[in-house]
Structure 1
Amino acid sequence: MSQPATILVIDDEPQIRKFLRISLVSQGYSVLEAATGVEGLSLAALNKPDVLVLDLGLPDMDGQQVLCEFREWSNAPVLVLSVRASEAQKVQALDAGANDYVTKPFGIQEFLARIRALLRQAPAGETQPAAVELGPLTIDLAFRRVLLDGVEVALTRKEFAVLAQLARYPGRVITQQQLLKDIWGPTHIENSHYLRIVVGHVRQTLADDPTCPRFIATEPGVGYRLLGG
């Protein structure tokens, strides 16, 4: 028999989690629960849920941020379940990668029907790994950490973002314009000096000699490539 689908519920209200757990288990699903965004992302990285049910009003971080971080490495369906009913909130969540949005209070039969609908939607393309290991270098996309020879190294948000983008496609060339657009925004695609500075800092942190690179190779006039893919 096939394994039951795993539903991860991230919500800080214990009564909501209990209600959803009882309802989902009664339908044969396996349920994981988290009360905070950090705990939820950790469970998601370790267990790869088939559907994520996400509240936006979490105590440690905004649910929109949880959604964005989850979407950096997973394309599993996300159902937002929130008291925030404004159109702007819904548009923001859907634009950030949510597949559906249900406002509280909600009917459990409708909720279960939406879960079934999401499970029927097979994710398009491959799910990105939660972490990429290339020899001595580990890039943990889920927890935003970089380890070199098992020791964590410190990178700024922009430095990690560039390295993470390369890590999602190891061995492939990512153009300068694509990196600038993805990380700085479409209005900065001509600001290649931003990218050169950040890549230089990353190389320095990783002790990566650009003339004989172990990790990041420059493709002159084109972009960069993470070696090892």
Structure 2
Amino acid sequence: MASAGAAALGLGVCVLAAPEIIVGAVIVAGVVVVGFAIKEALDTYAEKRGRPQVVRPAPETRPMPETAPAPQKPSPKKRPKPEPKGPDFPPVEPPEVTERDRHRCEPVPVPYHLGGNKLHDKCADRIPNNSFPGGDVFVNGKNFDALQLATRTLWEVKTHDIETYNPYILRIELEKQVEEVRRERDLAAACGFHFRVGVRDEAHKAALERLDRTLDIVVMDWC
């Protein structure tokens, strides 16, 4: 019995090693238990041979998602550099306006003439359309001899008897008169007034015009 078992075991091992041996050979050996085990092993092997081998596909390699490039921030536009405008000095403040300066161009009648020369005063008072006869008119810091408001004309009257002057004194006197009436003309013009010079004769007028032809000189035939 022991030899038979050993023979059956050896046959079983051979069958397991060579699956081509049919099942009936195991039954002939007479060992039912071992044959049953061998049969079960063969069935298992047959299943494995007959079953198609499942080939597992290699894991699919998915393409890496492309990373979208980060949106570029638009570069800030360069502002044009301002052109140099020279030294940055603070604005000059206007000078303080006093009450006197505010009214300096308003004509102010003066109830008398300066100088006390009767001929001079008569010629000034008789200027046609004189708005303030009998006195001077104060404008822009100066007493003028007369004012014609209708034409906004200020007057300076000269009644010197130049024929009695010697040439040297005459030249000095005429130069002095021209300098004086130029200054008065500028004061009148600064306040928007016209300016005229009144003289008694043509010789006086001609002598002044030789020194300054820009002066407006009138011969006062009313005095």
- TM-score > 0.5 by shorter chain: no
TM-score when normalising by structure 2: 0.28
Higher alpha-carbon Rg: 2
- Which structure dedicates a bigger proportion of its chain to strand? 1
